[in-house]
């Protein structure tokens, strides 16, 4: 009888190993998803503050491990199970859900090692970051250009306003110069139209007015002097009746004053 083991070849054995690996990988991810599903159910039922204690006492899980399983469930629990192991599935959580399937297909995530997959996700994140930075720089540059255009427009407007004001000032200066010249012409004309005889007449009238003013002043002083002298005579008579000695003193003074005044040139 022929030995059955003779039909087994390295190729057959490799196929069996890869099949077991695939099944194990699927089972591991499926198990992680189901554990995450039940962890979510328990968390919703537990009172506030009891979650960590329940994990440690009932499942021997840390909060960190439980959160990883919950994330895997939330990401893959309601869709067809991808051909990934648990580690690959967790690494791919770094890719947004709406882009994850396309990214898995593009890089053939199933055939990558853990390190290669981590690098691919990191490179993608870095590329997106650089793209976003480039877009932001472009937007900033556009904003700077817009600001510069606005500034140029503002400066142009200010320049035009200054130019208009300068033109207005120049026009006003010209008008003032014209007005001054006109006034000077009128003044010269007025000076020429004034005759010598007219000036002489004005001077004569001015002299006559001065003489009249002087005469009026003398008349005023004379009237005051007359009144004062009459009052002095009356007071002297009163003093003579009441105080003869004092009257005699002031009588002599008055006579001296009058004598001296009459001898002055008038």
Domain-wise residue ranges, the chain: 6-112, 125-193, 197-263
pLDDT tier at 2, thresholds 50, 70, 90: very low
Of 49, 101, 43, nearest to 69 by C-alpha is: 43
260 vs 263: CA distance, rounded Å: 5
Q: Is the pTM for the entire model greater than 0.75?
A: no
52 vs 61: CA distance, rounded Å: 9
The two structure tokens encoding residue 209: 């007015």
Predicted pLDDT at 265: 62
Predicted pLDDT at 165: 84
72 vs 36: CA distance, rounded Å: 7
177 vs 179: CA distance, rounded Å: 5
User: Per-residue pLDDT tens for 46-67?
Assistant: 999 999 999 999 999 999 999 9
User: Per-residue pLDDT tens for 155-195?
Assistant: 888 888 888 888 888 777 788 888 878 877 876 776 666 55
pLDDT (mean) for 18-44: 88
User: Per-residue pLDDT tens for 133-152?
Assistant: 888 988 888 898 888 888 88
151 vs 92: CA distance, rounded Å: 48
């Amino acid at each position: 009888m022929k030995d059955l083991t003779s039909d087994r070849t390295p190729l057959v054995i490799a196929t069996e190993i890869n099949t077991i690996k695939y099944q194990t990988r699927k089972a591991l991810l499926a198990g992680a998803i189901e554990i995450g599903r039940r962890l979510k159910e328990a968390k919703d039922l537990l009172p506030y503050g009891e979650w960590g204690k329940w994990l440690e006492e009932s499942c021997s899980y840390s909060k960190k491990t439980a959160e990883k399983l919950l994330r895997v469930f939330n990401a893959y629990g309601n869709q067809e199970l991808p051909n990934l192991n648990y580690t690959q599935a967790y690494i791919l959580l770094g890719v947004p859900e709406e882009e994850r399937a396309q990214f898995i297909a593009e890089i053939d995530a199933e055939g990558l090692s853990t390190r290669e997959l981590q690098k691919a996700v990191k490179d993608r994140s870095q590329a997106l970051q650089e793209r976003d930075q480039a877009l932001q720089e472009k937007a900033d540059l556009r904003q700077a250009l817009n600001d510069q255009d606005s500034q140029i427009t503002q400066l142009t407007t200010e320049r035009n306003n200054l130019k208009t004001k300068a033109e207005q000032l120049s026009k006003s200066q010209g008008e003032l110069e014209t007005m001054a010249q006109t006034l000077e012409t009128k003044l010269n004309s007025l000076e020429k139209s004034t005759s010598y005889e007219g000036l002489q007449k004005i001077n004569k009238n001015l002299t006559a007015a001065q003489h009249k003013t002087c005469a009026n002043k003398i008349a005023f002083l004379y009237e005051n002097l007359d009144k004062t002298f009459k009052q002095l005579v009356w007071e002297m008579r009163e003093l003579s009746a009441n105080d003869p000695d004092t009257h005699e003193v002031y009588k002599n003074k008055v006579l001296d004053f009058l004598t001296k005044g009459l001898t002055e040139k008038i």
